[in-house]
Amino acid sequence: MFKLSEEGLKYVKSELTRYETKQSAIIRSLYRAQDENGGWVNHDVISHLSEVMEIPAAQIEEVATFYTMFNQKPVGKYHIQVCCTLTCGMMGGRELCDAMMKEAGCKEMGDVSADGMFTFSKVECLGSCDTAPMLQINRDPYTENLNMEKGLQLVRDLRARGKGH
């Protein structure tokens, strides 16, 4: 059973009073719960949030499944989201993503690689088309101006860093 940590609970409680209605706090609480649950939102997370926030669970699940940044399946330590829309698509975002997936050992999109390090998704426009092709790791600032070697090197660096600690 998933339980929010001490500060997590305090954070959610403060969010509930921050906006005009408590429903508005669902998104940030889901972000917090997702971070504390290892990067994905599952059934227990939603039922726990529903109790804590006193909002019908169906409404929270609606929000959790509507937005793309809440993962419905477990993700690796580094969830690499490669942008593949329009400009990035033209500049080779899709080929880059496939090459990096092979390098990282993930067969399908959304799978966690054997060593639990990587999960890949092809996401829609991230709003940085001048630096195409580019990607975002988890919810950190963007990694931009990539090409094939930089992409594969990035996978190797991340794997090394991931094993480090």
Partner 1 sequence: MAEVKYLSEHYSKPEYRSLDGYKKHGGYEMLAKALKMEPQKIIDEVKASGLRGRGGAGFSTGMKWGFLPNNGEPRYLLCNADESEPGTFKDRVMMEKAPHQLIEGMLIAAFAVKSHKAYIYIRGEYMGPAAILEKAIAEAKAAGLIGKNILGSGFDCDLDLYLGAGAYICGEETGLISSLEGYKGQPKLKPPFPAVQGYLKKPTIVNNVETLAAVVNIIRDGGQGYRKYGTEKSAGTKLFSISGNVNKPGTYEVPLGYKMIDLINIECGGLKPGRKLKAVVPGGSSAPVLTAEEAERATLDYECLAGMGSMLGSGAIIVIDDSNCMVDVLSTITHFYHHESCGQCTPCREGTGWIEKIIHSIIHGHAKPGDIDMLLKIADNMKGRTICALSDAAALPVLSFVTKFRDEFEYFIKEKKSKVRGGQIYAQLHH
Partner 2 sequence: MHSSTTNVPMVKIQVNGQEVEVKEGSTIIEAFYQNKIDIAHYCWHPGLSVAGVCRLCMVEIEGNPRLQIACNTTVTPGMRVSNVSEKVKDAVKWGLDFHLINHPLDCPICDQAGECGLQDQYMKYGRNDSKMGEAKVKKHKVVDLGPRVVLDSERCILCSRCVRFCDEVPKTSELGIFNRGDRAEVGTFDGKPLTNKYSTNVVDICPVGALTSRDFRFRQRVWFLKDKETICTGCSTGCNVKAYYNKEGVFRVKPVYNAAVNGHWMCDDGRDIYKFVNRENRLIDAKLVSGGKTEHMQPMELAKRLGATLKGQGASVALVLTGSHSVEEYEAIVSYFKNDVGTTQIYHWINNPDTIDSFDGILIRGDKNPNTKGLIEVLAKNGVSTQWKSLTDSIGTGAVKTVVVAGPENQALFPDMKVKISELSKAAKLVWMTAGKNSELESLTGDVALLPLKTYVEKPGTFVNHAGLRQKTQPVTSIVPGALSLVEAVQLFRGEELVAKPVQEGEKPNEIGKGRVHNEFTLTRGVW
Which residues contact partner 1 by CB under 8 A? 18-28, 30-31, 59, 62-63, 66-70, 84-87, 89-90, 94-95, 109, 122-132, 136, 139-142
Q: Which is nearer to partner 2, 57 or 129 (CB)?
A: 57
What is the DSSP code string of the chain?
-----HHHHHHHHHHHHHSSSGGGGHHHHHHHHHHHTTS---HHHHHHHHHHHT--HHHHHHHHHHSTTS-SS---SEEEEEE-SHHHHHTTHHHHHHHHHHHHT--STTPBPTTS-EEEEEE---S-GGG-S-EEETTSSPB-S--HHHHHHHHHHHHHHHHH-
Question: Among partner 2, partner 1, none, what binds residue 61 when CB lies within 5 to 8 Å by partner kind?
Answer: partner 2
Question: With respect to partner 2, which residue has the nearer C-beta, 25 or 91?
Answer: 25
Name which of 63 and 137 has its Cβ closer to partner 2: 63
Considering beta carbons, is residue 51 or 130 the nearer one to partner 1? Answer: 130
**Cβ pair 17, 61 in contact under 8 A:** no
Quote the least distance from Cβ 67 to partner 1, whole Å.
Answer: 3
**CB closer to partner 2 out of 60 and 134:** 60
Residue 7: CB minimum distance to partner 1, A: 17
User: Which partner, partner 2, partner 1, none, binds residue 46 by CB below 5 to 8 Å per kind?
Assistant: partner 2
The structure tokens listed for 28 are 């940030």
Catalog residues that contact partner 2 under the rule CB under 8 A: 43, 46-47, 50, 56-62, 65-66
